[in-house]
Structure 1
Amino acid sequence: MKLIYAVIVAVIGHLVSADQQQQLALSSASSDFSQRLYQKVALDKPSIVYSPYSIHSALTMTSLGARGDTETEMKNTLGITSLGNSVHTIYKELIEQINSVTDVELNTANAIFVKPNLQIVPKFTQDTTDYYSAQTANIDLSANGGPEKPINDYIANKTENIIQNVLQPGTIDDDTVMLLINTIFFNGTWEAAFDEHQTRNQDFNPLPYAVKQVEMMTDDRNVNIKRDDVNKVDIAELPFKGGRFSFYIALPQAIDGITDLEQLLARPEKVKQLFTGLSSVRVQLSIPKFKTETTLSLNTPLKDMGIRKAFISKVADFSGITSGI
């Protein structure tokens, strides 16, 4: 079965201090963006993990320095045009809320690195610091280990060394103008831990009609579930300690139902419908132990979604970041 994860999309709905209508507008914009992005990056991959929150917030932050048609395309694609500058205030409160969580480890960070011969506009540095707690700096072309190393070190530091060496040697070249970095780190403990002595090898279907023996975490417990016979999918919720965050599983009822499930997940109104109305039921729960990594190039998907001029040299207008681009 294809493994599909989208992280932190729903957190926006839990903000408490910003205007409620604007919260909902940003939540809707982020969700719609994530569904459209999913259709561009996920459907042809056997497994994928990505954070729509990270991508949407990082691009929204970058829009602070976009001007002209570049700014218009970015805001229209992100769905934030109607929110004006209030979108940054809402994200500021969300980031503060995320970074203050105590029941789990959850931290997010932003950074923008630009060519060393370009002077960063002070207002952009101030705004990204105020709203996004971002680091803005020039690329260090003379760094020991190459210009990629300081940026890789930044990413490793923000993810407790889980993510390392994202940028390979030679990634930064003469054509590199700006690097946009967003990290999100989550480490949680199950509210009800699995007994490691109950982990055993069982059959698993990584693809329709393909069977593989994998280690399965197994337990007999009460779980919030929903059997949706109309959409032919079963939903289960596994909360993390503290009850504020949960891991949701969407399991097609048919062994070859993953394509139909993906089509459902591509419809925002269906996502909300699928993940509501769960109730506690005693079940035997088995989940495969897994590790997955994903590397995505977003240039083409974002162009297809409407952010075009930002990727065209000498056309992109980021004069709010530096006067040189």
Structure 2
Amino acid sequence: MVDGDFSDAVQTVSRGNDLFTSDMYRELAGGQGNLFFSPWSIQVILALAFLGSGGRTAEQMARGLRLPEDKNATEEGFSEILKQLKESDDVILRVANRIFVKQNFTIKERFKQSAKKFMAGAEEMDFKDLGAAGAINSWVAGITNGRIKEVIGKGALGEQTRMVLVNAVYFKGNWSVQFSKYFTEPRPFHPPSQPTKDVDTMFVKNGYMYAEINELNSQVILLPYKGNRISMLIILPRELNGLPDVEKNLTNVSLQEIISRMYVAEVHVYLPKFKMEYEVGLTGALRKLGMTDMFDDDDANFSGISMKRLKVDDVFHKAFIEVNEEGTEAAAATGVHFVPAPSVFTTPPPPIFFKADHPFLFYILDQKTRAVLFAGRISDPLH
């Protein structure tokens, strides 16, 4: 749960983040391939743009981002969570946001103050300059330890560009209990509509938070990173080809509800190693979530950012993850305090087997603030 001393604003924003994660996953999850994105990163940069929006643009953004229309609550909630995320000492977590606005579009002072609270720069840039994309890309590469090199492709910026929103998140954490390389070996994995493949699969046996969620017909496990604050939550369908059904039913049960049902159990975990880079333009998904005016020449209202007319041209997103025996490295261009349940058994219960040998969903979340930093699915670890 969110710590009791957190404000209503933080709780509202973290609930909104859970819902937005589910909405964005649904929009990006067409087809069968691997998927990886940072809902926190996407939501936080758009929430900052929302603070500079007005009229119908603001109404659409609040609804689409699952945030309160009260901008003060949104500003306070994000600002507090961003501060809290800076304090996770046992892992490396960097969150950075920046809004680039066309040169001579003076940014209003009030908006600059909001940007500061979001630990974001808001700066003017000459988009005609051929080096503009390179400057933005090298800023992102710096934040993400070189894992995300080119968020903005050649030719994406030009004389017509008025505003670009860029977000970057980098996470690197070691598992609280590491997988021993000694036990890693090729094991069968069953991708959808393809022959079985041998994939390097890790093994660990330990006490973990675990649950069986019948609404999703799935096993769920929480694998904590060092410090036990940030964890990977894995949803594994019971059926080999059960992922599409799980995705359909995700709206029936929130991540927080899943976590509230978990208990400590001895689990034998088999998890494939995987590495993935994922890139997506978000304009289509955001339009489908009802945020249409912000992209429109005539209807966009960002009067809180600049006196001149502004619209959003593009929202670029690129993400990287690597999961191995030591832990996880993840980048994107975003506390539950558990005590073991008292045992009522005189003899220990039989161990539970959690065998991720077929497509599964995963989330990396901060249990203190409930922010969902990353979300994705593995359909084929070798892709």
Tell whether the structures are fold-level matches, with TM greater than 0.5. Answer: yes
Match of 1:9 in 2: none
Determine the C-alpha separation between the residues in 1 that align with 2:33 and 2:184: 25
Q: Give the deviation of 1:54 after TM superposition.
A: 1.4
| Distance 1:126-1:271 versus aligned 2 partners, 3 A rule | closer
CA distance in 2, matches of 1:208, 1:278: 32
Q: 1:154 to 1:281 in 2, by over 3 A?
A: same
1:216-235 alignment runs, 5 A limit: 216-229=201-214, 231-235=216-220
Q: Provide the secondary structure at the position in 2 that maps to 1:291.
A: strand
Mean CA deviation greater in 200-209 or 78-87: 78-87
- 1:278 aligned residue: 262
Quote the Cα distance in structure 2 between the aligned partners of 1:64 and 1:138: 18
**1:122 paired residue number:** 109
- Find the partner of 2:2 among 3, 14, 17: 14
| 8 Å Cα contact 1:105/1:187 also seen in 2 | yes
TM superposition shift of 1:147: 1.4
* Alpha-carbon shift at residue 292 of structure 1 (Å): 1.3
1:102 maps to 89
* Partners of 1:110 and 1:138 in 2: CA distance: 14
* Structure in which a larger fraction of residues adopt strand: 2
For the pair 1:313 / 2:300, whether they are aligned, the reply is no
Q: Distance in 2 between the 1:277 and 1:64 partners? A: 36
Which whole-Å deviations, capped at 9, do the CAs of 1:52-75 have from their partners, x for residues lacking one? Answer: 111221111111211222122112
Q: In structure 2, how many angstroms separate the alpha carbons of the residues matched to 1:187 and 1:318?
A: 35
Counterpart of 2:308 in structure 1 is 324
1:4 counterpart residue number: none
Q: Distance in 2 between matches of 1:271 and 1:126?
A: 33
What is residue 363 of structure 2 aligned with on the other side? none
Q: How far has the Cα of 1:248 moved from its partner?
A: 1.2
1:157 maps to 2:128: no
- Is the partner of 1:296 in helix, strand or coil? strand
Counterpart selection for 1:132 from 118, 142, 148: 118
Structure 1 vs Structure 2: percent identity of aligned residues?
27
CA offset at residue 27 of structure 1?
Answer: 2.1
Q: Which has the higher contact order (CA 8 A, sep 6+)?
A: 2
Distance 1:53 1:270 in 2: 16
Paired residue for 1:239? 224
- Write the distance in 2 (CA, Å) between the matches of 1:229 and 1:70: 39
C-alpha distance 274-113 of structure 1, shift in aligned 2 (>3 A): same
SS of alignment partner, residue 260 of structure 2: coil
Contact 1:105 1:188 (C-alpha < 8 Å) held by counterparts: yes
SS at match of 2:211: strand
- Rounded to whole Å, the distance in 1 between the matches of 2:250 and 2:197 is 26
Change beyond 3 A, Cα 1:17–1:133: farther
State the shift of 1:188 in Å: 0.5
Aligned length: 309
Give CA-to-partner distance per residue, 1:257-294, whole Å, 9 cap, x none: 11111112233x35444333323333332111111121
Shift of 1:45: 4.7
Q: Does 2:179 correspond to 1:194?
A: yes
1:42 and 2:29 are equivalent in the alignment: yes
Residue 179 of structure 2 contacts residue 204 of structure 2 at CA under 8 Å; is this kept in 1? yes
1:75 aligns with one of 62, 69, 84 = 62
Which residue of 268, 286, 291 maps to 1:302?
A: 286
Amino acid at match of 2:115: T
The whole-number CA distance in structure 2 between the counterparts of 1:44 and 1:102 is 38
The C-alpha deviation readout for 1:151-180, integer Å capped at 9, x for no partner, is 001111111211111111111022321110
- Superposed displacement of residue 214, structure 1: 0.9
| 1:209–1:256 CA contact under 8 A, matched in 2 | no
Alpha-carbon separation, structure 1, partners of 2:197 and 2:249 = 26
Query: RMSD of aligned C-alpha atoms?
Result: 2.0
The SS at the match of 2:240 is coil
Q: Output one character per residue of 1:87-116: Cα deviation in whole Å (capped at 9) or x when no partner.
A: 211211111110121011112111000112
Supply the distance in 2 between the matched residues of 1:120 and 1:82 (Cα, whole angstroms).
22
Letter in structure 1 aligned against 2:178: A
Change in CA separation of 1:155 and 1:228 when aligned onto 2, cut-off 3 Å: same
Pair 15,62 (structure 1): closer, same or farther in 2 beyond 3 Å:
farther
Q: What's the CA shift for 1:15?
A: 5.3
Q: Which runs of 5+ in 1 are unaligned?
A: 1-12
Please, which runs of 5 or more residues in structure 2 have no aligned partner? 310-383
Deviations 1:168-213 (A, max 9, x none): 1111022321110111111101011111122111111122563111
81-90 or 96-105, which deviates more: 81-90
From the two aligned structures, give the one with the greater helix fraction.
Answer: 1
Q: Distance in 2 between matches of 1:229 and 1:78?
A: 29
Question: After superposition, what is the alpha-carbon deviation per residue over 1:18-48, rounded to whole angstroms, capped at 9, x for unaligned?
Answer: 42x3333222222222212221111335111
